[in-house]
A and B are shown apart, each in its own frame.
Chain A
Amino acid sequence: MKRSEYTGRPQVVEGEGPFGGPLATREPLVADDKTWKEVDDDIARHTEIMPTKMWWFAFIPSVLLMLVFLGSLGVSIGTGIGTTGISHPVGWGVFIVNFVFWIGIGHAGTLISAILFLFKQNWRTGINRSAEAMTIFAVMVAGLFPLLHTGRPWFAYYLFPIPDHRGPLWVNFNSPLLWDVFAVSTYGTISLVFWYIGLVPDLATLRDRAKHPLRRKIYGMMSLGWTGANRSWRHYESAYLMLAGLATPLVLSVHTIVSFDFAVSVIPGWHSTIFPPYFVAGAVFSGFAMVLTLTIIMRHVFKLKSYITINHLESMAKIVLLTGAVVSIAYITEFVIAYYSAVPAERFHFANRVLGPYWWAAGLMYGCNMLAPQLLWIKKIRRNIVALFIISIFVNIGMWFERFVIVTTSLHRDFVPSSWGMYDFKAMDWLLTIGSFGMFFTLFLLFARVLPTITMFEVKAVMNPTTASRKNRKEVADG
């Protein structure tokens, strides 16, 4: 089936169903009647040719931005975090906002690879590899922020409960910030392991295709001696299922614990019991928006439109719409219950959020997260790539501002009006925020160069074997 013929609806033949009803056939997940060999060729190709102009066009600015990021991290270590806007009364500023934002971005990958795997959603095969890579890079970027926020990152090992010269000075197990250390590092580790396990059969394919001996050596080592034997596959599949089962609660736990950073406190706007599921839904929401942004670019740059079809994009758009609705309900619940609580500070906070000096940030948050995704109710928009791209950018912006609103507006006007203030966004705040995208994109582009961006063996498994295997095709052609 040609990708231009896709409609996003199953094809229905009347009278063919089991009891004389209609029979629906889903549109194939891989378009353009590809064969298994073509899958290898199309996907492995970008790792085997010299980088294209398009790739350099994206890579050079990304590296420059990453240098900006590293430079500004250097300033925040060398001179101090006072170079950002962090000061009294907003002690949690740009670092925590970006930390929560990037951890959120890191959610879609494992959601796609683990939860959609458990739900047997086969369309995940087109996007899971790149989404998982995105997860890992997002977690790497995210992890830097709290580390730097400590001000003296060279003492970061204090966060680990190891017996040492510090004597009675011991980590505070009561603190959600410490839980974060464990949650994020566990999540990062499992995501990495899960991603790598999923890569092994494809790395072996790259190894077998390699012409240069050095290349064969490198991919050979990375593929851990994969032979593709029956026994290997059996072990592989049960390991993958187990890891999916383990990763699923971890997806939820990591953002839940990030939400605990705020919600265990007594600060109005932070002490919301709905925070755990609301943060998780928000993270999936922003993560999927980022996957949408990246895959729209990737399928174009690497010519993967037959594998990441418009149907894949539409499915992602539906998840964005759904999680956006969940987030919206959480927003509304917060307002209703803040009114219902009759606690003056709580009521003041939510009035201040939309009517106070940061009304514009709240406007961006609610506008981009609640209103913009509503366009996705319309099928034409869900299947319009330009519109999808713009909406996904809006969601990214909205979710960044959600974290900004939660962190800043809750702190800037606390219980004592004499200590009120504003968060002064300085050049350093901008450089850190924008620069972090540079690091993220640099890592992602490097990944796309050296590893197959789509899980080749899983894609092959969801293709129709009678048409995808070349041998059969020939037989059919020969009659």
Chain B
Amino acid sequence: MAHASHHHDIEKPGKLELPKSFTTAAIVLTVIGVIAFAIGLLSEELVGRAWRAYVIGLWFTLGIALIGPFFAATQYLSKAGWSVGIRRIPEAFGAFIYPGIILFVVALLFGANTLFGWLDPAVFDPESAQFDRIVAEKEGFLNITSLWLFTLIPLSVAAILYFLMRKNSVDQDEEGGYKPMQKNLWISAFYIISFAVTVSFISWYWLMTYDPHWYSMMWSVHAFAGAFQAGLCLMTLILIYLLRKGLYGDVVGTEQVHRMGQLVFGFTVFYAYIHFSQFLLLWYANIPETAKWYVDRMSEGWGFFLLLIPLLRFIVPFVALLRQSAKKNAKNILVFMCLLLIPMQAYETWLWVMPYWYGEGGLHAPMVPLLEIGVVLGFVGIFMLVVGRALAAQNLVPLKDPLLAEAIPHSHDHLIYPNGKPGESGQDDDK
């Protein structure tokens, strides 16, 4: 078996070649998204919904993209050994931050006035009939300049730090040595700070201000918890896919799947903890301004959709993943849970963004989200294209990372390869 002490017999990991069908599917999804969005923009009735769908898709994908380097940064900072082999997956997520910035600029340039009723100067004008005293009090926060600055500056800083982190990690494959790891340690620390600031401002501006009267101090944590859950799930899915393709050689095994399963389970509980705490505190204090968010989502037909959140984002995955074997993907349970939890992030964002229309009649009843699904699929398509290419561009494993030896498993578990390991000839001479 492959021990760290004698490496000559370790099967080298392969390189990912994106299947043609993957690229085709991604392009088709992108085209669907563009068409759906165009239809929305051309129709006077749908233009508001189209832009909100744009925000849903953008947060869904960009949130996960930001989580990738965040996860890698936590692993650098804790000098974790087990995750070195799978680090390229979260690293690849970050590639979507760059198009994310462009997509935000597009939204700022063309969509902001449609999205944010509070950008209407009449709201701040005491003479006007639309004057809103509460919103006018928040002018220091709710104005177009702050919106631009606080959206783009933290995100750009995060992008620069991600660029450096990725560059060091890739350079390490050639150079080797301890230096790139040491540099990435520092970059990781700063990335985490920029990540916290970025998520805070994006969640406040782009996900909280549709009802500009409502506020919750937990909001940014809530946004983080949801995105982190989904991000971990996507990493797990890709990991299992690559393992089944046999691309990891002997370098990654069940241990990594088990630990990712543990993290998915753990952060499912964390998500529930954060969301329930926020709900309980708002419900219990019952202050009209702050309880409103949940009151809105329990009326006009939204209640059912709100109830699905604890059921599908916590109870089902919690029960399903409780067993140790489930965390190792026995009977594909982990895969199914990831397939459930990733779309739930888009679903919950829909529930955040859609119900309330400031200045346009307030609370709306739920509508069949065909347009929204189309636009979100478009974002998924772009995400697939960018992240897939980033993953295929480099070695699947950072081959010269000093801690890689610790990541190499000492035994293979058959849960990962239910039908036998691909490319394995009958005899295993290591036995």
Contact = CB atoms under 8 A, between A and B. Distances in A.
B4 A18 contact: yes
B259 to A, nearest CB: 9
A342 interface: yes
Interface secondary structure of B, over-half rule: helix
Contact-residue size bin, chain B (C-beta under 8 Å from the other chain): 35 or more
Contacts of B404: 17-19, 21
A339 interface: yes
B10 interface: yes
Given A10-B79, A22-B176, A22-B177, A249 B269 contact: yes
A109 interface: no
Interface residues of A, number: 42
Given A10-B79, A21-B401, A271-B285, A342 B138 contact: yes
Interface string A268-311: 00011111110000000000000000000000000000000000
B273 A276 contact: yes
B287 to A, nearest CB: 6
Contacts, number: 131
A18 B251 contact: yes
A10 B403 contact: yes
Interface in B210-238: 215-221
Nearest to A270: B285
B232 to A, nearest CB: 15
A14 B176 contact: yes
B177 A340 contact: no
Contacts of A337: 215-217, 219
A140 interface: no
Given A20-B400, A21-B399, A266 B281 contact: no
A276 B178 CA distance: 39
Interface in A305-335: 318, 325, 329, 333-334
Contacts of B400: 17, 19-22
Contacts of B135: 342
B140 interface: yes
A365 interface: no
A260 B277 CA distance: 9
A50 interface: no
A339 B12 contact: no
A274 B278 CA distance: 7
Contact of A273 (B216, B251, B269, B289): B216
A22 B278 contact: no
A19 B10 CA distance: 9
Given A17-B402, A18-B404, A21-B401, A273 B287 contact: no
A14 B399 CA distance: 13
A366 to B, nearest CB: 17
Nearest to A275: B281
Please indicate which of the listed interface residues B200, B251, B284 has the most CB atoms of chain A within 10 Å of its own CB: B284
Contacts of A191: none
A275 B200 CA distance: 16
Nearest to A24: B402
B281 A24 contact: no
B157 interface: no
B204 interface: yes
Contacts of B289: 341, 343
Given A274-B217, A276-B277, A341-B215, A18 B176 contact: no
Contact of A329 (B12, B196, B280): B196
Given A18-B7, A252-B273, A273 B405 contact: no
A276 B279 CA distance: 12
Interface in A249-266: 249, 252, 256, 260, 263-266
Contact of B281 (A9, A12, A260, A339): A260
Contacts of A265: 285
A442 B142 CA distance: 55
Given A22-B176, A342-B138, A343-B289, A273 B402 contact: no
Nearest to A274: B217
A23 interface: yes
A14 B400 CA distance: 10
Interface of A: 9-10, 12, 14-15, 17-24, 118, 249, 252, 256, 260, 263-266, 271-277, 318, 325, 329, 333-334, 336-337, 339-343, 377
B282 interface: yes
A459 to B, nearest CB: 20
A274 B220 CA distance: 9
B141 A273 contact: no
Contacts of B50: none
B221 A10 contact: no
29 contacts: A9-B178, A9-B182, A10-B178, A10-B403, A18-B4, A18-B251, A19-B12, A19-B399, A21-B401, A22-B402, A23-B4, A23-B405, A24-B402, A24-B405, A263-B285, A266-B285, A271-B281, A272-B217, A273-B282, A276-B274, A276-B277, A277-B218, A329-B200, A333-B220, A336-B200, A336-B204, A337-B216, A337-B219, A343-B289
A343 B289 CA distance: 9
A12 B178 contact: yes
A276 B274 CA distance: 8
Contacts of B200: 329, 333, 336
A263 B218 CA distance: 12
Contacts of A318: 77
B254 to A, nearest CB: 15
Given A19-B10, A329-B196, 18 more contacts: A10-B79, A10-B403, A12-B402, A17-B176, A18-B399, A19-B399, A21-B176, A21-B401, A118-B262, A249-B269, A277-B221, A277-B274, A277-B277, A334-B217, A336-B200, A337-B219, A339-B141, A340-B138
A397 B343 CA distance: 45
A22 B408 CA distance: 15
B24 to A, nearest CB: 33
Interface in B143-189: 172, 176-178, 182, 189
Given A329-B196, A339-B141, A20 B282 contact: no
A118 B137 CA distance: 47
Nearest to B200: A333
Contacts of B251: 18
B134 interface: yes
Interface in B261-278: 262, 269, 273-274, 277-278
B193 interface: yes
Contact of A10 (B215, B269, B402): B402
Contacts of B4: 18, 23
Nearest to A321: B189
A205 B201 CA distance: 56
A268 B141 CA distance: 20
A91 to B, nearest CB: 19
A263 B77 CA distance: 33
Nearest to B279: A273
Given A21-B399, A21-B400, A340 B178 contact: no
A266 B287 CA distance: 7
Question: Which of A23, A339, A340 has the most chain B CB within a 10 Å cutoff?
Answer: A340
A277 B402 CA distance: 35
A260 B215 CA distance: 18
A260 B399 CA distance: 48
The 4 A-B pairs with the shortest beta carbon distances in the complex, nearest first, are A21-B400, A24-B402, A273-B218, A342-B137
A88 to B, nearest CB: 23
A395 B153 CA distance: 32
Contact of A18 (B220, B221, B408): B408
Interface in B378-431: 399-405, 408
Contacts of B177: 12, 14, 22
Nearest to B259: A120
A333 B217 contact: yes
A256 B138 contact: no
B137 A20 contact: no
Contacts of A341: 215, 289
A264 B285 contact: yes
A9 to B, nearest CB: 8
B186 to A, nearest CB: 9
Interface string B106-141: 000000000000000000000000000011011011
